[in-house]
Structure 1
């Protein structure tokens, strides 16, 4: 039986949903532009939209506040496995049908899984927003999860794990998390393990999907040439089935810390790999999202290793030529975060690289940054933030993450003001607090044993 025309279905149901979306539920988030608006929809679903003048597209995502940290060890990799499976067909659409509908309008359809959330998204012309809403809602809430598809995608996920294992930099990131966060769920790779994926049953995946992908955990974010009220009607109609079991439910609030401190400072992880380069990650734990000083940490990270003028890039690459790639980065989760430095170099030069990195971190911990470094870092962050909002997909991502992580939206002007307010004294205080901690390291390279590593790393073990 051919599926019902999706454009017609969305149009038919929108009038029924309109009565349930009260204008009083719409909140203007950014009073300076009136472009970002938020609504609570039936069943606890949240909708956040941003109108972007002058574009002809809409980026739309259904975000679920569930990721790999919500899995048991037996479920490791389930959220990512589901990301593959939900596109394999619904009761109304085959996998080929889904692809054909999106290709017919030149749209993009994809998904990604992270440690604390999952997002299914589409990027379409503004005239095709009803189709995007209908397809995404169908995939997320009404997939079939057929046994044959589970077996088919099991092989695909195992191939993806093999690809990760062949990429030392990707493998290093997972190893660093495992070394720093230990047995905490943050220490497990999002993709799962070969053993966990081979053992994953269809029943386990179905139970995880139905138990976790609930309406109160969903955020629909959209940015582009759109009308908020129209999108609200479309989303309420498309997610009507998911909302029915949650009448009167409130949205699940942002994830909070569990109270545990899931970090192991001063640990060293090593994976012997017959590669041409040694790949090293060195770092320290930071506070989670609820901790203070996010803009200060961003400035510190930018000045340390965020650009061509950063200390690490200048000291490691420009002045000594020890590595082609060196940078620092930060992550922040509900329970904890990390500030880390990555470098890839010839195996025989790893000791020099580690020594220089440790010296730079020690200098910044002791003396902070110069005023010129702070000014440059603030400017780099301002530019990156504004340029990162130039396309609708980036704006949609900003909306979805903010709603899930913080339960609120921060205007671009407010974010820029917070960056501008960071002082050298604040950066020095945070650097002294963070960088004085024992360092944690992970290495992927041709080293058979910890004893084969340079002394600058061995003393961390």
Structure 2
């Protein structure tokens, strides 16, 4: 029997797992044709784990990890990796924080040593902290001055209110300036715990060697479990900012499948059909047929126990009044009929995105780590593709009927006087959907 591309990838990329005595997970995936390795540590702590008084500390901590340890200065850290031609970086998200390096296979030991050093022996020098706080305050200012960024922050706040998941990752100027060395050390000790950390590596890797190196490099990591976090719940609401801009930035969204929901891939396909790419419904009707906006797209953001399906559009004030009814109509159509060609195209897009990403060791390492943090295992490629292929047109229309009949979140910035109020938008949508929200059965599980 011939081997399919998906089977070939799965067979060539067995994930090996080891759990250290501390509780830390080591996950590796060999790509023998490569001369390099991508490796990193993913911590199951992000902005949604912060208390109100800790708003922005996850992101600040990520920055400060590179600003000096007991044995390396900030410059030493950068030079150690770049001296061997490698790259080092980090990122903070809602659900996790990642620290990663890319280097040649013979420098794997150096990469793990540097990652272990910054995550267990950072000193949080006061002068470095003052400089980095200033850098992040500038970053906050830049985001506030960029309507495209600000509207997304406001959208998440409108969706989740004052829950941690509804706050910005960057924090506020006041919160960032309030953090000191002791605050950072306390947060690191309580949240960077081995049972909620994954060291993932892909490329030219030797699993057993990486396990040995990790046991030494992360010997001092905390072994307790981090504090529990309240589950997030979609609330809905609106945040509108009238500003003298050339374009209005509009975001409307709805409660959607989370990472563990059985409807996860249905949600992915729904968003793809609605507004992912030039062949999508929104792009064809709003941009191509009517010319009502410069850009329009739809997205699905799944988090650990909640999710969002949203639509983003940028348009001039003169087109705003006509734009929203068209968007509402296209949303409602999803609950009525999905063409076979649309399902096939959406599945092909998701498959291609998944398989193309697996050509990158960085993407493979990140996928392994995130899967381990969310599911406790690395999902095989064939299993993911099977779940994508199992989605039917009826699944998509049923999900559309359920989520679009529920509450919505709206954020807008710019010359938005012609924009209908959220209540009017949802009333129009309810009228087009017809029936009662309770008629749409199903849910999470």
Q: Normalising by structure 1, what TM-score? A: 0.87
Does residue 262 of structure 1 match 2:243?
no
Out of 133, 151, 155, the residue aligned to residue 130 of structure 2 is 151
Does residue 379 (structure 1) correspond to residue 348 (structure 2)? The answer is: yes
Measured in 1, the distance between the counterparts of 2:85 and 2:342 equals 44
- Give 1:304's aligned residue: 274
Q: Secondary structure at the match of 1:61?
A: strand
Q: Is the 8 A contact 1:439 1:460 kept in 2?
A: no
Aligned partner of 2:76 in structure 1 is: 97
CA RMSD of aligned residues (A): 2.0
Please give the residue correspondences for 1:234-313 in structure 2 after superposition, counting only pairs within 5 Å: 234-242=213-221, 246=223, 258=230, 262-265=233-236, 267-313=237-283
The answer for unaligned runs of 5 or more in structure 1 is 1-29
User: 2: distance between equivalents of 1:405 and 1:157?
Assistant: 29
Compared CA separation, residues 261 and 43, structure 1 to 2 (3 A): closer
Partner of residue 411, structure 2:
442
Paired residues for 1:181-200 under 5 Å:
181-200=160-179
| TM-aligned CA deviation for residue 106 of structure 1 | 1.1
With normalisation by structure 2, the TM-score equals 0.90
Which residue, 395, 398, 407 being the options, matches 1:429?
Answer: 398
Deviations 1:55-107 (A, max 9, x none): 11111111111111111111100000011111000001000111111111111
Measured after TM superposition, the shift of residue 460 of structure 1 is: 4.9
Gapped regions of structure 2 (runs ≥ 5): 1-8, 427-445
Distance in 2 separating the partners of 1:314 and 1:440: 24
Residue equivalent to 2:4: none
CA–CA separation in structure 2 for the residues paired with 1:192 and 1:34: 39
Aligned equivalents of 1:324 and 1:390: distance in 2?
A: 33
Could you tell me whether the CA contact under 8 Å between 2:202 and 2:361 is conserved in 1?
yes
Q: 1:227 to 1:337 in 2, by over 3 A?
A: same
Tell me by how many angstroms 1:340 deviates.
0.3
- Structure 1 residue 431, shift from structure 2 partner: 1.2
Structure 2 residue aligned with 1:17: none
Among 308, 315, 318, the residue aligned to 2:285: 315
Q: Counterpart in 2 of 1:331?
A: 301
- SS of aligned partner of 2:260: coil
- The answer to whether the 8 A contact 1:63-1:218 is kept is yes
Contact 2:298 2:310 in 1 (8 A): yes
Query: CA–CA distance in 2 between the matches of 1:345 and 1:400?
Result: 38
Equivalent position SS for 1:179:
helix
Match of 1:217 in 2: 196
Give the length in aligned residue pairs.
418
Q: 1:281 Cα shift?
A: 0.6
**More off after superposition, 196-205 vs 278-287:** 196-205
Aligned to 2:380: 411
Structure 1 residues 189 and 352: alpha-carbon distance in aligned structure 2, compared to 1, 3 A threshold: same
User: Aligned partners of 2:403 and 2:229: how far apart in 1?
Assistant: 19
Q: State the Cα distance separating 1:184 from its structure 2 match.
A: 1.2
* Offset, 1:390: 1.3
Tell me which residue corresponds to 2:42: 63
What's the CA shift for 1:402? 0.7
